[in-house]
Amino acid sequence: MLRQDLIRDIHFIWNADRREFHTIIALGLDVAGHPRITHGGFSAAVLDETTGGLVFEGKKDGSLGPGRAFTARLEVDYRKPMPVDTEIVCTARLLNTEGRKIWTEAELRDRPGGTLYAVAKALYVTVRAEAEPRGEERAAEDGAAEEGRA
């Protein structure tokens, strides 16, 4: 993406005190979906990457428990067309946790407190530990073990 004119520069910032993750991007011209307007799928990818960065940092510091987590749901509301060839800031925050579920929110702006282009809510789910097979997996493992004893 950096070699094409999609992204000219990108920075990730983890603010541990405020528990916020920021992605700052200088967009190029080739992110257009319509002339001079950033493609909505690109905006969604930035929101997903930023909420994912928040979850990654929470996993790394232990505050969101052990194990990897993956996006299970990403809901995006587009508020205003985002121009190409501009700088944007995406900020993600933790909303709630329940068991293996982690809910986050994010906003995409031209600067902190500036024009709001899109907001998102994302649900991440921590994968079960490999030592915890469930349902059909457990039955298949049990069956394979039985066959090995015969």
User: What H or E segment, with its residue span, contains residue 55?
Assistant: helix 40-60
pTM exceeding 0.85: no
pLDDT band at 144 (very low <50, low <70, confident <90, very high): low
Please, what's the b/e burial string for 61-71 (b: 16 or more CB within 10 A of its CB; e: otherwise)?
eeebeeeebee
Model pLDDT, residue 67 = 95
pLDDT at 135 over 90: no
The residue-averaged pLDDT of 10-39 equals 95
Nearest to 38 by CA among 88, 74, 107: 88
Closest of 55, 58, 1 to residue 25, by C-alpha: 1
Q: How confident is the model at residue 25 (pLDDT cuts 50, 70, 90)?
A: very high
